[in-house]
Amino acid sequence: MCRTLAIIALILTAIAGIAASAVWSRSVEQEKGQTMDQKSESALTPGVNDLTIKVVYDNNPHADGFGTAWGFACVIIGAEKTILFDTGGDGALLLDNMKKLAIEPNSIDVVVLSHIHGDHTGGLGSFLDRNPKTEVYVPISFPRKFKENVRTYGAKVVEVAEPLKICEGVYSCGQLGKLIKEQSLAIQTKNGLIVVTGCAHPGIVKIVNTAHDLMKNDILLVMGGFHLEWATKGKIEKIISAFKQLHVEYVGPCHCTGNKARTLFQKHFGKNYINIGAGRVITMADLK
């Protein structure tokens, strides 16, 4: 079963452009997420007081003893629900890194998958083998076959189209993008908004703007894949300038951001640059 999910994800990555129009239809039996009411939420939402983010999968190394491979996953602890954001590409590596960070699979309440690519969904089957009693939030464009396979484990699938509340203080920015559909997380904390991205295919600035407009709060941290591996220096510097204009306080680019972009972000953000890789633990003490 684990291999089935991983294989499906990898195949769909290759044919996403061809199959996109065919797989975005809604099935009447599929669970729908509750759309966020921006009038009653956003800035009035109480912030999470004590948040910890543990990076359990990344192609960049950080702590000794942690495996690395192309992909991304992190565990968000301290909100109303414990969230696994993405699952990397290899289930065994994901679970091993989780164990090293003292994270039990059955402690996870919610899985959020940013997009269909295998390096973000490939570890899901192995995780669900260990904890099938969870909710899996996916962009509504995910193929029906993928969602049906998730349900065979006993997990509940929640489809995301518009921005919605996952739990107190934690929101999906909704499905964004054209060819590659993707969702990101916006977490309201006592110090500001934390935005977590998978690959930022819709554009990292668009995602940050969306989160800011939704939550009406200052951006404390933007972390995850920024999709700048092959971007020019000029493009990267324009994005950094946009971050500055948005008053982004801390940045933690990893995964598909690329070394050139990471170096430039570090240069411009200095001590407010968070070096992220497998095994990194971020707490509110790091974001003063």
Q: Is residue 20 part of a domain?
A: no
Beta bridge partners of 224: 197, 253
CA dist 87 and 118 (Å) reads 9
Contact 140/158 with Cβ under 8 angstroms?
Answer: no
State the residue range of the domain holding 83: 2-12+50-286
Q: Is residue 159 part of a domain?
A: yes
Q: How far is CA 117 from CA 16, 213, 262, in A?
A: 9, 27, 22
Element housing 112 (H / E): strand 110-112
Backbone angles phi, psi at 112, to 5 degrees: -115, 120
Q: Higher pLDDT residue, 125 or 22?
A: 125
Mean pLDDT of 23-34: 42
The tokens for 278 are: 């497998």
Q: Is residue 144 part of a domain?
A: yes
Q: Is residue 177 part of a domain?
A: yes
pLDDT at 40 over 50: no
Looking at residue 109, which CATH number applies to its domain? 3.60.15.10
Distance of CA 30 to the CA centre of its chain: 22
Q: Is residue 207 part of a domain?
A: yes
The pLDDT confidence band at residue 48, using thresholds 50, 70 and 90, is: confident
Residue carrying the six token digits 């009447």:
28
Contact 223/230 with Cβ under 8 angstroms?
Answer: no
Q: Is residue 129 part of a domain?
A: yes
The pLDDT confidence band at residue 204, using thresholds 50, 70 and 90, is: very high
Q: Is residue 37 part of a domain?
A: no
The pLDDT confidence band at residue 37, using thresholds 50, 70 and 90, is: low
Number of domains in the chain: 1
Mean pLDDT of 192-218: 97
Q: Is residue 228 part of a domain?
A: yes
pLDDT at 44 over 90: no
> What is the per-residue pLDDT across 52-92, written as a single tens digit (0 to 9) for each?
999 999 999 999 999 999 999 999 999 999 999 999 999 99
pLDDT at 285 over 90: yes
The pLDDT confidence band at residue 16, using thresholds 50, 70 and 90, is: very low
Neighbours of 144 (CB within 10 A): 14
**pTM, whole model, 2 decimals?**
0.88
